[in-house]
């Protein structure tokens, strides 16, 4: 039996109960993704980290134990741990995923994000570039361009960051959340006119955004996050 089927069977038996039955379709997102039934990982990651699913850490650990040879499951779990700042566990899972499958573009992408969040921008750039080489026409590549922009922003290379954020918006114009990053980097670069335009677009998408909410939504290190927040504060974002 393949690792994919073993993982799927284990997950079904592990989580099928009245209490957790609603989680099954989302936990099995990677298998659905393979046949194109669910286009975004965020439904899985978002649900697993939601306050509505309180036992997610134990579920994630059991999934890792039962699907330790499936790179996609490992990548999903690595992303979940990344978002809740369990960086050590996330690194173990993601590095295992790309070791098992060196051609796993999404694994390299998620590892790139982890490097961004731990202030390793040069490593992040290498990982995102590798992901783009492995899957050059992936419809989710806009997220790799955001990742490259974030890496340059963490490195305080604001002009380069803005260029990658704009590229991401060209590929995904409706991804309004990218304007948070673009406005911050343009402000840091001192490109005030462009920064104000991006800031206005950001506020159009997030009318109630504040510095506090911005910090709560992001998982960058405190040092990087404070710089980003200060760049937005300069444009008029309220505390």
How confident is the model over 186-199, as pLDDT tens digits?
999 999 999 999 99
pLDDT of residue 58: 56
* Long-range contacts (CB closer than 8 Å, 24 or more residues apart) made by 224-233: 224/119, 224/153, 224/154, 227/156, 227/188, 228/153, 228/181, 228/184, 231/183, 231/184, 231/185, 231/187, 231/188, 232/180, 232/183, 232/184, 232/187, 232/199
pLDDT for residue 141: 95
In this chain, the answer to whether the domains covering 1-102 and 138-239 adopt an identical fold is yes
CA distance 77 to 93: 7
Per residue in 55-72, pLDDT (tens digit) is 555 555 655 565 568 898
Q: Please state, as a whole number, how many other Cβ atoms lie within 10 Å of the Cβ of residue 124.
A: 26
pLDDT the model gives residue 69: 84
Alpha-carbon torsion (29, 32, 33, 39), positive or negative? negative
Spelled out in words, what is the top-level CATH class assigned to the domain 1-102?
Answer: mainly alpha
The residue written with tokens 């910090």 in the block is 215
Nearest CA among 180, 154, 178, 158 for reference residue 167? 178
Residues of the chain whose pLDDT is less than 70?
Answer: 1-68
User: Phi and psi dihedrals of 35, rounded to 5?
Assistant: -110, 10
pLDDT of res. 187: 98
Distance (Å, rounded) from C-alpha 107 to C-alpha 71? 8
Q: What is the pLDDT of residue 49?
A: 44
Contact of 112 with 82, CB cutoff 8 Å: no
Reading the block at residue 18, the tokens are 């009245």
End-to-end CA distance of the chain: 55
Encode 10-46: b = buried (16+ Cβ within 10 Å), e = exposed.
Answer: bbeebbeeeeeeebeebbbbbbebeeeebeebeebbe
Q: The domain 138-239 belongs to what CATH superfamily?
A: Tetratricopeptide repeat domain (1.25.40.10)
Domain layout of the chain by residue ranges: 1-102, 138-239
């Amino acid at each position: 039996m393949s690792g994919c089927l073993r993982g799927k069977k284990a997950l079904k038996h592990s989580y099928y109960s009245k209490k957790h039955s609603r989680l099954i379709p989302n936990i099995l997102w990677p298998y659905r993704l393979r046949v194109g039934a669910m286009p975004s990982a965020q439904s899985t990651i978002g649900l697993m980290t939601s306050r509505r699913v309180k036992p997610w850490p134990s579920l994630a650990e059991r999934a890792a134990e039962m699907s330790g040879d499936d790179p996609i499951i490992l990548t999903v779990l690595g992303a979940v741990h990344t978002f809740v700042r369990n960086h050590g566990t996330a690194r173990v899972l993601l590095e295992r995923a790309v070791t098992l499958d060196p051609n796993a573009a999404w694994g390299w992408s998620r590892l790139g994000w982890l490097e961004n969040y731990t202030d390793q921008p040069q490593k992040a750039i290498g990982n995102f570039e590798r992901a783009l080489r492995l899957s050059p026409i992936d419809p989710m590549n806009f997220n790799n361009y955001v990742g490259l922009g974030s890496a340059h922003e963490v490195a305080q290379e604001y002009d380069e960051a803005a260029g990658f954020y704009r590229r991401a918006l060209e590929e995904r114009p409706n991804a309004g959340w990218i304007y948070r990053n673009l406005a911050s980097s343009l402000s840091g670069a001192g490109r005030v006119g462009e920064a104000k335009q991006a800031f206005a677009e950001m506020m159009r998408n997030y009318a109630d955004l504040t510095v506090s909410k911005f910090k709560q939504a992001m998982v960058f290190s405190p040092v990087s996050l404070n710089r980003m927040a200060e760049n937005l504060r300069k444009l008029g974002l309220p505390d």
